[in-house]
Structures are given as C-alpha cells and as structure tokens.
Amino acid sequence: MALNIAVFKIRALSAIVFAIIMLAGILFSFQTFFILFSIIHFGCWIEFQKLIRKIYPEYADISVFHKYGIIIAGWCLMLNFAPDAFTLFGMPLHEFGWWIGLTLCFLIPLTDLLFNGNINGKNMLLSIGGLLYISLSLALLTDIYAFEFYSNNSNSNFVYPDYLFPLLIICCIWINDTMAYISGSLFGKTPLSPISPKKTREGTFGGILLAVIVSTIVLYLIFPGVSLIMWVFLFLIIAIAGTFGDLLESKLKRMAGVKDSGMLMPGHGGFLDRFDSLLLAVPMVWIYLKIILLT
C-alpha cells in the first residue's frame, strides 16, 4: 500500500491542532484536564449510542432519561475519582459524583418501566457496556492523573508530575498510530485482521516496536533513575492494548456499517475513532501502575 502524501498531510495538520489542544488541557491543571476529558467522554458516548442504534435498532426505544442519564452517570464516575481538594459548595466533587451517579442508576430502569412499560434487559446491558467501555476507562485515567506516583529509586523521594502518565499514554498511542500508518504504507503486505483490512501485520508490529523504542529512550533520558524495564513494559502494554482498542472500535463500525464514528477531525474521524486505543489502554496501564509498581 503506497503512502498517500495528500491524505498524510491532512492527517498531520489536523493532528497538530488536536495535539496542541490535548497538551494544553493535560499540562495546565487538573481542572483543564477534567474539562477536556469530560468533553471527550460526552463525545464518545454520543457516537457510541449512534453505533449501537445501528447495530441493535431496539436500543432506540430507550427513554430520553435513559439516553442522557446513562451518559451523566458515566461522567459522575469520572467525578468520583476527583481529588479531595476540588469541592462544590463545600462538598468534595467525588461525593457529588457518587451520590448523583448512584441516584441515576436507580432512576434509569424506572423511567424505562414508566415510559416503555418494561425494562429491556438487552438495552440495559448495552448501556452498562458503554459505562465499562468509555466511562470507567476515563474515570481510571482521572485516577491516574490524581494519584501520586513515587520514583522506585531508593535514593530519591521524587514524585512524578501528575500529568506525566496520562501524557505518556496518549503520546505512546500517537507514536504507535503514526508509525503503524507509515510502516504499513511503506512495507505492509499481510492483512492483520478481517475486522480492519487496511491494517497490516507489518504496520502493526512496526508501530508497536517503534512506539516502545522511541518512548522508552525519550523517557529514560528524562528520568534516568527509573528502571529501563519499567518503561519498556509500560509502553508495550500501551501499544498492544491500544492496538486491540482500535480493532474493537473497528469491529463496532463494521457491525454498524459505517466508515467513521463521527466527524471530529479531518482524516481521523470522530471521538471514538480518535480515542479508541486510549479506552482500552488506560485500564491496562491503571492495573500496571496500581498493582505492579506499588507492590
């Protein structure tokens, strides 16, 4: 598959604008980080519901309260991981998230019963699936941002910047996507999966390999006191899980019969197209950071 220069230029230009917005939101403060990913959360949910309605038309029968209530409940899950320092009317934001989210979880099936005369179990499972796929992932990313990770170097009490690990996840995914596209365009011959016929094994493996190498070298130069193996495994988890996240969303689009989930960025598609890798990579990174590094 030849490298399409015109398409690459469009993708590169929109990616630069996108990167500036993302970096500003992540690096400035927790507030800007939370606002940024709240927008991403709502955008992903709207596109997810559109895809599900195309795949399972009966999902369109959910009540209006169910449709928007489940999105707000998912956002409350993100609020639940906000640090104690952030309050509203004197109450920590995570307490607002807990109580509002819990209330919505009780009311959503009741409104389906009142407006539709029954509770459709499949529709409820699909909404729960959206909570696990989108909301839980972004909630865990919020937790990663809010949690203090200390260097495992016994000679240092260094605390990693709060934005570091969310930034690493996103940058590694960007490198993986870019390198996979370039190496696949230049050397790709063998299709990776029928789910996404344009992806090749050569491009996928090349993207993962280059993402791990480049990311590890850069971060090891910045934080030389940390074990090299730690960074290798971290970026390997991100690249592999991100690749499966991309395939999962491709499967949803194929089942829905659409090319892109939305129209967020020229050459990149919608919110889910842009953050599909992130949604699967974050839980894996969260487990790695919370269980492996803290033991």
Q: Is the pLDDT reported for residue 117 higher than 80?
A: no
The pLDDT value recorded for residue 194 is 77
Neighbours of 4 (CB within 10 A): 12
3-state percent helix, strand, coil for the chain, nearest multiple of 5: 75, 5, 20
The pLDDT value recorded for residue 47 is 94
Any idea how long the chain is?
A: 295
CA 205 – CA 213 distance, rounded (Å)? 12
Angle between helices 64-79 and 30-55 (to 10 degrees): 150
Q: What is the pLDDT of residues 145-158, one digit of tens each?
A: 887 666 555 445 56
Dihedral of CA atoms 286, 273, 184, 6 in degrees, nearest 10, equals -140
Q: What is the pLDDT of residues 165-220, one digit of tens each?
A: 999 999 999 899 888 888 877 777 777 777 877 788 888 898 899 999 999 988 88
Residue of higher predicted confidence among 49 and 269: 49
Tell me the mean pLDDT in the region 28-41. 92
Q: Is the pLDDT reported for residue 270 higher than 90?
A: no
Q: What is the percent of the chain with per-residue pLDDT over 90, rounded to a whole number?
A: 40
Beta partners for residue 101, in sequence order: none
- Output the DSSP codes for 213-254: HHHHHHHHHH-TTS-HHHHHHHHHHHHHHHHHHHHHHHHHHH
Average pLDDT score over the chain: 84
- Output the DSSP codes for 274-291: HHHHHHHHHHHHHHIIII
The pLDDT value recorded for residue 88 is 64
Question: pTM for the full model?
Answer: 0.88
Residue of higher predicted confidence among 200 and 266: 200
Q: Six-digit token pair at 255?
A: 């089942």
The pLDDT value recorded for residue 154 is 45
